[in-house]
Structure 1
Amino acid sequence: MLVQEIMTVPARCASPQDSAASAVELMHSLGIGVLPVVEEERVVGILTDRDLVLALAGQERGLEELPIAAVMTPGAVCCRAEDTIEAAAALMGDHQVRRLPVLDDAGHVAGLLSVTDIAVHASEQLAGEALGEIAEYR
């Protein structure tokens, strides 16, 4: 089974120049916890709800004044739409991430793949193995 068969589409994305407040609003309205950060149609990072919470700790300024670039995790780990689910799950485990932006042949964001997508649409066993590696202390 290939990633493109079970990935979530469309993937909602943000720009590094967007405010963190706009990201919170988008995440809340869509019920999601991650946004690939894209500049000039290329993934430059990833923003998670955890990134936003940590950014607020000790901040004197509000999220409206804080650009996503200041709080995102740069250099997101991505997979390809044509990758197998097993390869994507291994990538998740190796890099200890629960979600991967999925790229098309041109390197643009085509979707998003989560451990939950793997569990629901492909294999609970494979998702469990990936989650075990993700949670492993290294």
Structure 2
Amino acid sequence: MVGDVVVIDASASLVDAAVTMKEANVGILPVVSGGRLRGLITDRDIIVRAIAEGADPATTLVGDCATRDLICARPDTAVGEAMEVMAECQIGRLPVVNDEDQIVGMLTLSSLALRSSDESDALHTAQQVSKRSSKAA
């Protein structure tokens, strides 16, 4: 699990999100409001949901373009269970939240593969997630 997760407030602009992504060298940011996880915004979301639709990224709020239907893990979620969820949902990142919906980490394919004792499970998860990626291309 990646523990030091850079987040952005839902009231920030898309330009702020893009700058934060560049500075942190990430393509996704958890979106928070009042300290609680409210969504996720990706570099692709900024392009597809805002710029391609003619929205002004300087005035459009992150919260307006973020994905809100979240699938999250808890700190005690087992590696195998997290990998299964990621494979079934074809997602490459899984936010980890506590009981107050505060983000405490992010599970990634690479972090799970390093912790998995079953290489075939890690490979299967990566293949399932890549199916979604190839459909989006």
TM-score normalised per structure 1:
0.84
Secondary structure of 1:100's counterpart equals strand
Q: Post-superposition shift, 1:121?
A: 4.2
Q: Match of 2:65?
A: 71
**Aligned equivalent of 1:133:** 128
Matched AA of 1:50? R
Residues 6, 24 of structure 2: 8 Å contact kept: no
How many Å apart are 1:99 and its aligned residue?
0.3
Q: Which whole-Å deviations, capped at 9, do the CAs of 1:36-76 have from their partners, x for residues lacking one?
A: 111222222111111112121131x4311110122111122
Is 2:43 the partner of 1:53?
Answer: no
Give runs of aligned pairs for residues 1-20 of structure 1, distance below 5 A. 7-20=1-14
How far 1:18 sits from its partner (Å)? Answer: 0.8
Q: What's the C-alpha RMSD, in Å, of the aligned pairs?
A: 2.0
Deviations 1:16-42 (A, max 9, x none): 111011110011011111111112222
Unaligned runs of 5+ in 1: 1-6
- Displacement after TM superposition at 1:106 (Å): 3.5
Match of 2:34 among 36, 40, 49: 40
Could you say what secondary structure the match of 2:96 adopts?
strand
Unaligned runs of 5+ in 2: none
Q: 1:43 touches 1:76 (CA, 8 Å); kept in 2?
A: no
- TM (normalized to structure 2)? 0.84
Are 1:115 and 2:109 counterparts? yes
Higher relative contact order (CA 8 A, sep 6+): 1
